[in-house]
């Protein structure tokens, strides 16, 4: 596995090695010891998955407050997404900054999103299937969201994303400056 730092050092792109032959390929997509070697000794306790029928389906920017804050390891098993992490730690010098990577089943790359960051993605292909590991259970009482198109964050969504498919909850999410519950 190759661990590639992003513009936000806590967010890491992971590129598993694929070993191919005439049958296809094999890859180790998760290996706790590799992450532990770089200080990410995490206990992933739950796997989540979503399938989005249409390109332009947008989910996020989601996070959970402590004690249910979640680190996530995101990968795509069919299709492709623009995957985004937003620093929501008020005391961080990169507060409100974001980083994005295209994750595609064809590439096999993944994104590690630590606690203290919001997570969002936009599907780039039809029938995109996303799987992600999390370090804490889903807790509706701790669930929060920041508006996906907040101009103060300024996420550069795909240029052709004019009318995204978003949930009513995501469409009603507050902007970052109106968000009372963030990380300190």
Task: Please give the average per-residue pLDDT across 97-105, as a whole number.
Answer: 98
CATH number at residue 149: 2.60.120.10
Distance in angstroms (rounded) separating the CA atoms of residues 44 and 121: 20
Of the residues 19, 30, 62, 63, only one is catalytic, namely 62
Q: How many domains does the chain have?
A: 1
The alpha carbon of residue 97 and the mean position of all alpha carbons in its chain are separated, in whole angstroms, by 14
Q: What's the first-to-final CA gap in the chain, in angstroms? A: 32
Q: How far is CA 74 from CA 145, 159, 179, in A?
A: 18, 23, 25
Question: Which pLDDT score is estimated for 181?
Answer: 83
Instruction: Please tell me the predicted confidence (pLDDT) of residue 39.
Output: 86
DSSP designation for 53? S
Based on the residue annotation, tell me whether 63 is a catalytic residue of this protein: no
DSSP 158-177: -TT-SS-B--HHHHTPPPGG
Q: Please, what sign has the CA dihedral across residues 66, 68, 72, 77?
A: negative
Q: What is the mean pLDDT of residues 69-84?
A: 98
Active-site pick, 19, 129, 132, 138:
132
Residue 50 lies in a domain: yes
In a domain, residue 176? The reply is no
pLDDT at 170 (0 to 100):
96
Does any domain span residue 41?
Answer: yes
Chain centre to alpha carbon of residue 139: 18
Nearest-angstrom CA–CA distance, 34 and 27: 14
Position 175 pLDDT exceeds 90: yes
In a domain, 104, yes or no: yes
* Spatial distance between the Cα atoms of 30 and 49, rounded to a whole number of angstroms: 16
In a domain, 180, yes or no: no
Domain-located, residue 63? yes
Average pLDDT over residues 141-157: 96
**CA-CA distance, 1 to 18, in Å (whole number)?**
9
- 65 domain residue, yes or no: yes
Range of the domain at 107: 2-169
Q: What is the pLDDT of residues 121-139, one digit of tens each?
A: 999 999 999 999 999 999 9
Domain-embedded: residue 181:
no
**Annotated catalytic residue 62:** yes
76 token code pair: 């795509």
Residue 52 pLDDT greater than 90, yes or no: yes
């Amino acid at each position: 596995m190759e661990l590639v730092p992003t513009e936000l050092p806590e967010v890491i792109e992971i590129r598993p090695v694929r070993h191919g032959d005439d049958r296809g390929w094999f890859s180790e997509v998760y290996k706790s010891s590799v992450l532990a070697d770089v200080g990410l000794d995490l206990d992933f306790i739950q796997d989540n998955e979503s399938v989005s029928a249409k390109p332009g389906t947008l989910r996020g920017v989601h996070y959970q407050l402590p004690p249910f804050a979640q680190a996530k390891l995101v990968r795509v098993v069919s299709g492709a997404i623009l995957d985004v992490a937003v620093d929501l730690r008020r005391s961080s010098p990169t507060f409100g900054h974001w980083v994005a990577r295209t994750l595609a089943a064809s590439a096999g790359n993944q994104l590690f999103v630590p606690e203290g960051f919001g997570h969002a993605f936009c599907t780039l292909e039809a029938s995109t299937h996303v799987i992600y590991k999390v370090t804490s259970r889903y807790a509706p009482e701790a669930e929060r969201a920041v508006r996906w198109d907040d101009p103060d964050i300024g996420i550069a969504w795909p240029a052709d994303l004019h009318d995204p498919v978003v949930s009513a909850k995501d469409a009603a999410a507050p902007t970052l400056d109106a968000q009372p519950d963030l990380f300190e």
